[in-house]
Amino acid sequence: MSEFTGKTALITGGTSGIGRATALMLAARGANVVVTGRDVERGTEVVEKIQADGGCAASAGPRRSPR
């Protein structure tokens, strides 16, 4: 069992840089990861990378309000 198994991490700014690296590291150590950031496409890429590596992740990107 990994040190973060059963824990959930919310990573703000997880679509690039240190946030992305943190999301990938925590997922590799067993955490369920929720990634947020300004770029929905990059958030999706991070989630797909985590899932491809066998981890559990979801993206909570920005939402556009209806006009």
Instruction: Report d(CA 15, CA 29) in Å as an integer.
Output: 19
Please report whether residue 18 resides in a domain: yes
Please report whether residue 65 resides in a domain: no
Please report whether residue 32 resides in a domain: yes
Please report whether residue 35 resides in a domain: yes
The two tokens of residue 51 are: 């899932």
Question: What is the chain's alpha carbon radius of gyration, rounded to the nearest angstrom?
Answer: 12
Single pTM value for the model: 0.87
Per residue in 11-52, pLDDT (tens digit) is 999 999 999 999 999 999 999 999 999 999 999 999 999 999
Per residue in 34-44, pLDDT (tens digit) is 999 999 999 99
Please report whether residue 3 resides in a domain: no
Burial of 23 (0-12, 13-18, 19+ CB in 10 A): buried
In the chain, alpha helices (H) = 17-28, 40-52
Domain range holding 28?
8-59
